[in-house]
Structure 1
Amino acid sequence: MMGSRFLWLLWAYTCCWSAGFCGKVVVWPTDASHWINVKVLLEELVLRGHEVTVLVPSSNLLIDYRDTSSPFTFEVLQVPFTQESLDAIMEDFLNFWMNEISNLTPWEIMWRMKKDLEVFTNMSKQTCDTLVTKPQLIAKLRQAKFDILIADPLCVGGELIAEILAIPFVYSFRFSDGNVVERLCGGLLSPPSYVPASTMRLTDQMSFVERLKNFLFYFYMDLFFLKFWQNEWDGYYSNVLGRPTTLCETMGKAEIWLIRTYWDFEFPRPFLPNFEFVGGLHCQPAKPLPKEMEEFVQSSGEHGIVVFSLGSMVYNLSYEKSNVIARALSQIPQKVLWRYKGKKPETLGSNTRIYDWIPQNDLLGHPLTKAFITHGGTNGIYEAIYHGIPMIGIPMFADQHDNIAHMRAKGAATELDFSTLETQDLVDALNTVINNSTYKENVLRLSRIHHDQPVKPLDRAVFWIEFVMRHKGAKHLRPAAHHLTWTVPFPLSVPLPRPASPTADNCLCAAKKVVYSHVIVVLC
């Protein structure tokens, strides 16, 4: 173990010597799949000669700070919540989205989401407290003279630490609900006529009613989060920094926003010069499979295999639902490799093998792979795009519905509803995606777009982090909107359908456009 760490350090110092530049990076990470993604970036930074220190809570999901072979230095924050309580919270959260939500009214769902947000916010504050209330720890971090902080705005606190340490920070980010953080704090332009709000499950081709819903959702999310931030975070940040400020103002100081998508995934829309696409930075060519797994894959013959994973977080499928799925998988000619931790389903077919863990990227890159059953997480979506594998999406929460909506719109996936999923639904979806060549052709087109970039996503991410370290920021890319009061850059009017009266019609449609978020959009 120590030998592996020594080799990492030896390589880092060799790179540092040859490049003539060695930076010091501190990280405020977000857990789960976010950590899986950013870990690849951090490992690359170490390979380029930089020192990486991760501020990690003592109770977390996937960040193994006890791993002595890790190339990172871990500064463990002793949080008051236990590992058991965190696991229980996450299990309850997943159970809600997988098993309970279909039986609730929209208002009950919103109330539950608000309560979950309060729980996670409280844990975030407790994590922040373990650092901001410890003068000795702050002094230690200041003495380390870090050049940059990397954070994910989903886990509030990183930007506050950067302010305390007086260093620039960069975000690694997928999205926020309704794109509130990107729009209100980052200044990103989002015309509601053709830019669907995240979590709305819409595309850029919207009817008038969908555009109106999109506009209202943006409006509601703005009001909700501005009020929530004011109540929960603005005073906290002001007290810690000793001056009046807000969470959004502090987030807006991010030098670069590394967005974990690309135009193979996104719908065309305006972006800012300090927003950079790095989607798929974790993807890589497939490596050989373990011997036993390769033999099983080869036994599939001309039918090939199906890869099935619902991600790193989903492990509590009900036994009933597991049998529904297993029965469907037993009815297809392909061999199936299923990442699954629960009780073995009694309907499991001889063509299906279950594993606690699978080398997903390597399986998706195997020439015999025909389809990928996925929950729609961004990491898995990008591995499928990278290797050109069509998808059957079974989204459950967070960005997953939006991700699958994007893939459906681009003809690379079909979607199933987990709450109503029946055996025949999955059988039909698999047969459609595998036997209809259009899905394969479309995802191969996306794969060609992904690979045909002037700079690889991982190299692009590293470049901008190093750029910020070299220049102590990237202020020349920062839009002037950050320095205006919120009313100045947002001339608003109310979107209305075309009136029945010819006179009113002439008055309204003389300027037939509505201004929103810096951009004129046509609504009638």
Structure 2
Amino acid sequence: MPRKWISVLLLLQLSCHFSPGSCGKVLVWPTEYSHWINMKTILDALVQRGHEVTVLTSSASILVDPNKPSAIQFEIYPTSLTKDDFEDLFTRIISKWTYMPKYAFFTYFSLMQDIIWEYNDCIQTLCKEVVLNKKLMTKLQESRFDVVLADAAGPCGELLAELLKVPFVYSLRFSVGYTIERYSGGLPFPPSYVPVILSELSDHMTFMERVKNMIYVLYFDFWFQTFTEKWDQLCSKALGRPTTLFELMGKADIWLIRTYWDFEFPRPLLPNFVFVGGLHCKPAKPLPKEMEEFAQSSGENGIVVFSLGSMVTNMTEERANVIASALAQLPQKVIWRYDGKKPDTLGPNTRLYKWIPQNDLLDIRRML
């Protein structure tokens, strides 16, 4: 059995009763876009093995669609936020991240801080509307869930688990500065040879780069102290006793890290940190006829699939033309997921698609 599915088996063990043949009830606190796409893979596997999965989602969710036919159950709670609020927020986050000039490290993250704080405020609003909703919480308690599966990028799952008195499992790619993993997961982080993520440093640092790395660590430590203040207040209010967000996060039984260990710089790990990169990969299906013909016409040069992820479908005309011009110089055929105006510099080797079957395309042996 592939190593990446070991974590799923551990999750099954948590969600099952001790008696043989019985299955458990899983409550899910999701986030959006690629985070949800990855988590749904785990949920589908749990359902196939007979577990009862309930996703707790708001009426403002972007991708979590309870109207699609699914064996997964959905508990929808009302919120003061709207879907447009969320889409606008994520659009501004991506736009700022993409088009912000190349400032120095501290200037860059200082400018990013405001919009990340806004995202945090939205997630906290959703959390309040759940944990302070007595009718909903009573329903969840009566459902007698066995485990909570949550995305650490959007806090609240750990608070729900504490209120319901059940264990919980995290899904996470990384937190800024590895702050959550260090403070809540107890993950060792020697700054002398482990570079802070997004710092553009490597594991081969000069003395001054190590000093810089240490300053980055202290910077994000301070960053997250201000980040967690409001969460500490909410958690304490909901539980009726003093506590902190990091304290609740530290109770996670398993951390599912959404990447491969060999993509990371060498660093100490703990047994409950399990790398599950590639869980979303499935056996390829046949491509649409027109796309298949275009891919096969590439000859020995192969093809290039270009996509900027689930959140980026459009960009400025200037940026699109720069990318199109660069792709036009490649000898390969290019399949580009893009939903904007056709760039003037688009080459004959490039085909635009609003949506691409990425999993199926990546099965092509001539893929670069």
TM-score norm. by structure 1 comes to 0.64
| AA of the residue aligned to 2:51 | H
**Gaps in structure 1 of 5+ consecutive residues:** 1-15, 371-524
Post-superposition shift, 1:77?
2.0
Q: What is the aligned partner in structure 2 of residue 81 from structure 1?
A: 81
Where does 1:220-299 land on structure 2 (aligned, <5 Å)? 220-229=219-228, 231-299=229-297
Post-superposition shift, 1:107?
5.7
Are the counterparts in 2 of residues 283 and 361 from structure 1 also a CA contact under 8 Å?
yes
Are the counterparts in 2 of residues 148 and 167 from structure 1 also a CA contact under 8 Å?
yes
Where does 1:280-319 land on structure 2 (aligned, <5 Å)? 280-319=278-317
Are the counterparts in 2 of residues 176 and 182 from structure 1 also a CA contact under 8 Å?
yes
Where does 1:466-477 land on structure 2 (aligned, <5 Å)? none
- Distance verdict in 2 for CA 1:201–1:105, change over 3 Å: closer
| AA of the residue aligned to 2:178 | N
Q: For residues 472-512 of structure 1, what are the alpha-carbon distances to aligned partners after superposition, in whole Å with 9 as ceiling and x for unaligned? A: xxxxxxxxxxxxxxxxxxxxxxxxxxxxxxxxxxxxxxxxx
Q: What is the aligned partner in structure 1 of residue 49 from structure 2?
A: 48
Where does 1:394-413 land on structure 2 (aligned, <5 Å)? none
Specify the SS of the correspondent of 1:228.
helix
Are the counterparts in 1 of residues 313 and 337 from structure 2 also a CA contact under 8 Å?
no
In the alignment of these two chains, the number of paired residues is: 350
| AA of the residue aligned to 1:70 | S
Distance 2:110 2:317 in 1: 28
Instruction: Find out whether 1:61 has 2:62 as its counterpart.
Output: yes
Runs of 4+ aligned structure 1 residues displaced above 6 Å come to none
Q: What is the aligned partner in structure 2 of residue 147 from structure 1?
A: 146
Are the counterparts in 1 of residues 148 and 167 from structure 2 also a CA contact under 8 Å?
yes
Q: What is the aligned partner in structure 2 of residue 177 from structure 1?
A: 176
Q: Which has the larger radius of gyration?
A: 1
Distance 2:176 2:102 in 1: 23
Distance 1:284 1:264 in 2: 21
Post-superposition shift, 1:129?
1.6
Post-superposition shift, 1:349?
2.0
Specify the SS of the correspondent of 1:112.
helix
Are the counterparts in 2 of residues 77 and 127 from structure 1 also a CA contact under 8 Å?
no
Q: What is the aligned partner in structure 2 of residue 165 from structure 1?
A: 164
Distance 1:148 1:119 in 2: 29
Distance 1:294 1:94 in 2: 31
Distance 2:221 2:332 in 1: 47
Distance 1:73 1:272 in 2: 33
Q: For residues 172-223 of structure 1, what are the alpha-carbon distances to aligned partners after superposition, in whole Å with 9 as ceiling and x for unaligned? A: 1111111111101111101111111222122222221111111111122112
| AA of the residue aligned to 2:79 | V
Q: What is the aligned partner in structure 2 of residue 156 from structure 1?
A: 155
Are the counterparts in 2 of residues 297 and 335 from structure 1 also a CA contact under 8 Å?
yes
Post-superposition shift, 1:162?
0.6
Specify the SS of the correspondent of 1:143.
helix
- Distance verdict in 2 for CA 1:311–1:353, change over 3 Å: same
Distance 1:73 1:236 in 2: 27
Are the counterparts in 1 of residues 147 and 166 from structure 2 also a CA contact under 8 Å?
yes
Identity among equivalent positions (%) equals: 53
Are the counterparts in 2 of residues 257 and 275 from structure 1 also a CA contact under 8 Å?
yes
Distance 1:329 1:199 in 2: 26
Distance 1:325 1:274 in 2: 41
Distance 2:48 2:290 in 1: 32
Instruction: Find out whether 1:90 has 2:90 as its counterpart.
Output: yes
Are the counterparts in 2 of residues 297 and 368 from structure 1 also a CA contact under 8 Å?
no
Distance 2:105 2:269 in 1: 32
Post-superposition shift, 1:288?
2.0
Specify the SS of the correspondent of 1:102.
coil
Distance 2:315 2:292 in 1: 27
Where does 1:375-386 land on structure 2 (aligned, <5 Å)? none
Post-superposition shift, 1:236?
1.2
Distance 2:43 2:57 in 1: 14
Q: What is the aligned partner in structure 2 of residue 321 from structure 1?
A: 319
Distance 1:284 1:212 in 2: 43
Q: For residues 5-64 of structure 1, what are the alpha-carbon distances to aligned partners after superposition, in whole Å with 9 as ceiling and x for unaligned? A: xxxxxxxxxxx9xx7121100000121111111110110011111011001121123211
Specify the SS of the correspondent of 2:329.
coil
Specify the SS of the correspondent of 2:315.
coil
TM-score norm. by structure 2 comes to 0.91
Specify the SS of the correspondent of 1:201.
coil
Distance 1:75 1:339 in 2: 33
Are the counterparts in 2 of residues 172 and 259 from structure 1 also a CA contact under 8 Å?
yes
Are the counterparts in 2 of residues 95 and 316 from structure 1 also a CA contact under 8 Å?
no
Post-superposition shift, 1:169?
0.4
Q: What is the aligned partner in structure 2 of residue 458 from structure 1?
A: none
Q: For residues 308-358 of structure 1, what are the alpha-carbon distances to aligned partners after superposition, in whole Å with 9 as ceiling and x for unaligned? A: 111111123111111122222223222111000001112222221111111
Specify the SS of the correspondent of 1:348.
coil
**Gaps in structure 2 of 5+ consecutive residues:** 1-15
Distance 1:70 1:287 in 2: 20
- Distance verdict in 2 for CA 1:227–1:319, change over 3 Å: closer
Q: What is the aligned partner in structure 1 of residue 24 from structure 2?
A: 23
Post-superposition shift, 1:106?
5.6
| AA of the residue aligned to 2:44 | E
Post-superposition shift, 1:158?
0.6
Are the counterparts in 1 of residues 148 and 168 from structure 2 also a CA contact under 8 Å?
yes
| AA of the residue aligned to 1:37 | N
Specify the SS of the correspondent of 2:188.
coil
Are the counterparts in 1 of residues 102 and 108 from structure 2 also a CA contact under 8 Å?
no
Instruction: Find out whether 1:39 has 2:40 as its counterpart.
Output: yes
Distance 1:203 1:56 in 2: 39
Distance 2:222 2:302 in 1: 50
Are the counterparts in 1 of residues 153 and 175 from structure 2 also a CA contact under 8 Å?
yes
Specify the SS of the correspondent of 2:322.
helix
Specify the SS of the correspondent of 2:101.
helix
Distance 2:191 2:313 in 1: 36
